[in-house]
Structure formats: C-alpha cells, structure tokens
Amino acid sequence: MSDEIFQKETIKQILGHYKKIWAIGHAQSVLGWDMEVNMPKMGITERSVARGELSVLSQSLTLDPKFLELVEKAAALEDLNEYEKGVVRVLQRDIKIAKAFPPEFVRELSEVRSKATMAWAEAKEKDNFRKFEPWLDRIIELSKKAAEYLEYEEYPYDALLDLYEEGLRTRYLEPIFSKLEKDLKPILDKILEEGKVPKEHPLETEKYDTESMKEVNLKILELLGYPLGVKGRLDISPHPFTTEFGIHDVRITTRYEGFDFRRTLLAVVHEFGHALYELQIDEKLMFSPIAGGVSLGVHESQSRFWENIIGRSREFVELIYPVLKEKLPFMNKYSAEDLYTYFNMVRPDYIRVEADEVTYNMHILLRYKLEKMMVNESVKAKDLPELWNEEMERLLGIRPKNYKEGILQDIHWAHATVGYFPTYSLGTLLATQIKSYISKDMPDFYEKIARGEFGPIREWLREKVHKYGSTYPPTELLERSFGESVNPEYFIKYLKEKYLD
C-alpha cells in the first residue's frame, strides 16, 4: 500500500482495521472455492457452520464502534482524494448492509446457502426438483427478509438488485428489458428464416478426450495471457466460476462433458475475462475495500467481451484452429470456417450458459420476471417450474423436457443470489459498447486478435476499467471512461451487423 494513494491518517487507521475484515473475506473465498472444487459431500455439515460463523465475525468487525467512528470521521473530511472517497463510499455501503441484517439472519443465510448448494447439485444430478424445492422456499423467504431489512422505496426486489449493482433499480431495468424483448424476437425470427446461420453443427456431437481438452484450454489461457501457476489456476466444478482471493490469486474453473467442446472452451474464455479484471486492479489498492471489481454488471461486461467479441470472432477462431487440430484428432475433418460457424450458431435452446449471442438475453428476461414474482409477490417454489416452462415457451418457443433443462440449470438461487441475473444482461450489452469504444481507439483491434497480440487489448481494458477497482460507482466509472452508461442500442446494432447485414 502506498502513501501516494492513501494519504490521510484517518484513512490509514481505517485500512488497518479493515485488513481483519479483508482476511475473513479471503478465508471465505478459499472455503467457497474448495467447497465447489474439492470438498467431499459430507464436508458440508462443518463447512456451512464455519462459513456462517465467519460471516457473523466479519459483520461484528464491520460494526465495531471504533471503526464506525473512524469512517464517520473520514466522511466529514473535505479534502479526500478520489481513492480515499472510494474507500469511504464502499465502507458506508458495507456498514449500511451490515447494520441492516441481524447476526442470526447472517448466520442462517450463510448456512442455508451452503446446504442449498449441495441440495441443488444432487437435485440437478438426479433431475429431481423436490430435493431442492424446500431449500428454494427458504431462499425465497430469506430474500424477502433481506429486502425488508435493507429497506426500499418502490419494490422489495430493488433492495436485492442494489446488492449486486450499486444504484440499480427496477425502473432503470424496465426500459432496457422492454427494448430487448421488443427488438430481439424479430432479429431472431429473421435469422432463423433466412438460414444464413446454422442452427446445428456436427461438431456438437463430436466426443473429446477430457485430458486433451484440458490441454486445449490451458493453451488458450496461455495465448490470452492468464498467469497460470503464478497468479491463477484452472480447475473443474459443476458450474464454471471465477474466485478472487486477492490481486495475486484469481482462479477459474470449467466443466468437461465429453462432447460439444465449444461449451468448455468458451466458458474458459468467459472466466478469463472475469479473472483479468481482478488481476489488473492497481496493486496500490491491495487489502483495501476498493481492491475489487466495482459491480457484477461491469464484471460481466469483461467476461462477455472476451467470450463474445473476441472468442466468437473469425480472427480468434482462425488463431486457435491449429491448436484444436493438434489436440483433438476429429478436428482434421473440419475447416476453420466450420469452426467459426460452430461457434456462432443461432437457435432457441434451453441452457443459458450455452445460449448464443442472439437468444442469451431472453434467458435473463425469464429469470428477471420470475425473481420479481418471487420477491414482490407470493410465488412459492412449487409454482416456479411451470412458470419457468411457460415463460421459456413464450420467449423462445421451446419447452424444457426436464428440470435439468429448466429450473435446475443455474446455481445462483441455491447461492441465494436473487437479483444477480439482470447484471448478466447489463454486462452483455456493455460488452458491445466496449467493442465500439476500443475499435475507435485501436483501429487494428481485430488484426491484433488474428496475430495473438492480446497485450495491448489487456492494457486498454486496464486503463479504462480494471485499475480503478471500486474507486468509483459503476455509472460514474462508465461515464468517466466512455461518456455514457449502459445503452442497448449498441447491442441491437451489433447483432444486426453480424447476423443480418
């Protein structure tokens, strides 16, 4: 930590106390990562209690009277620099949340999350929603309680949205989602009608050797610039994710299903985008409250930028084609053009994480509608599978044949992260805006991808987004770096140019 950034003595005292809170968060990240990657099933009994107790301990440290006094004192200072203002803003927000939740609620929520996650995994494996249903009812009940504790002006759901995207409200989302619902269906219909883009591809059924696919993924991460073994790891989990333990330790996971290798490969590129954000935060912010991504929407813009704008581009496909031919023998039957069309198929499908660029936001629209019903209305878990299926049929014209294809596909509700899903759409839209901005600053953007020159792209993202961590609120960061906040027009234009023009 440097005096160049944190100069005020009061701020330094705050950061001295905060390091204990950071250490608990660090431990929680390790325990959570281990639970998903390594832990035997029966370990959940002790793990859920341990994480619950650590959550309460973190809350008590956050609400320590001396700490609260320091934060109030710092907030009254008029000559704080931008970073010090960021520390005060983030801590005031954390304190407000910590004050809102009684310790017994924090403990219960943490334990329910751990147990619900294991119940979800078993329910999905056995395609048996009943095994998860009682836990989902608990999650709905706790989400409603959380909204009441946090307080809100218009809708209970707004309180949960704000947890994941600072300042986000239903009234901001409604016009964005209304435009997407209005504009996406005609684009999808025209793509399917014209038949220029394939709806299926023989590469979907080609079976791969897991060890060979791991080698492909590791090689691609090396090409992108992920510091494997130095600051990062690639592991296996039921649902791909990224965990940051700190600026020098950010780990990603993927899954291997033995066929349709695009799923695991693009998941790796996606998670790399998340990891890069955390790895490129200014090291001078280390151990501070602003040493992390500012919001889930901005975070998702980074992963979707690498997955969609880069990973599905013709230039990237041609770059990795030789690697695939070397490691996956069946690729010798296919051309680089085959690979490109395989990566860019468009069709209504059941699984969100495997959805194409055109239909992806419809999956979020579905979840957004159901989450509002869960929190603002009296919908119970038993009602949700049918509501899910009806909404999917309305939006995409397909109806899930089982729970795995429907309500059990995502881990998020097991984690009690109700209000999280809309950030996926915000990030997806913002990724196309970033494409527009970087193309103006870097006219040879796609030529750089073709040559595997990702360093300048990483540096541009570092300067525009990453290095600030949470110094500025998400909307202010976007205004400072790009002059506007999330605008769906870029996304609609991108789809029309790529798939119709």
Of 271, 278, 371, 405, which one is the catalytic site residue? 271
Number of other residues whose CB lies within 10 A of the CB of residue 7: 14
As beta bridge partners, residue 236 has: 254
Q: Where does 165-209 have alpha helices with state H? A: 170-194
Positions at the binding site for Zn(2+): 270, 274, 300
pLDDT at 2: 46
Domain boundaries, the chain: 1-100, 170-500
Q: What is the CA radius of gyration of the chain?
A: 22
- CA dist., res. 494 & res. 77, Å (int): 46
User: Measured in Å, how far apart are the chain's first and last C-alpha atoms?
Assistant: 51
Positions at the binding site: 270, 274, 300
Among the listed residues 24, 8, 10, 7, the one whose alpha carbon sits nearest the alpha carbon of residue 287: 24
What fold characterizes domain 170-500? Neurolysin; domain 3 (1.10.1370)
* 305-354: pLDDT as tens digits: 999 999 999 999 999 999 999 999 999 999 999 999 999 999 999 999 88
- CA dist., res. 109 & res. 158, Å (int): 19
- Counting as low any pLDDT under 70, the low residues of the chain are 1-3
* 172-203: pLDDT as tens digits: 999 999 999 999 999 999 999 998 899 999 99
Residues comprising the chain, all counted? 501
pLDDT at 119: 96
pLDDT at 238: 85
Helix (H, G, I), strand (E, B) or coil at 54: helix
347, 199 Cβ separation under 8 angstroms: yes
490, 432 Cβ separation under 8 angstroms: yes
* 286-296: pLDDT as tens digits: 999 999 999 99
pLDDT at 261: 98
Q: Judge whether 271 counts as a catalytic residue.
A: yes
Which H helix or E strand runs over 234? Answer: strand 234-236
Query: For the whole prediction, is pTM greater than 0.85?
Result: yes
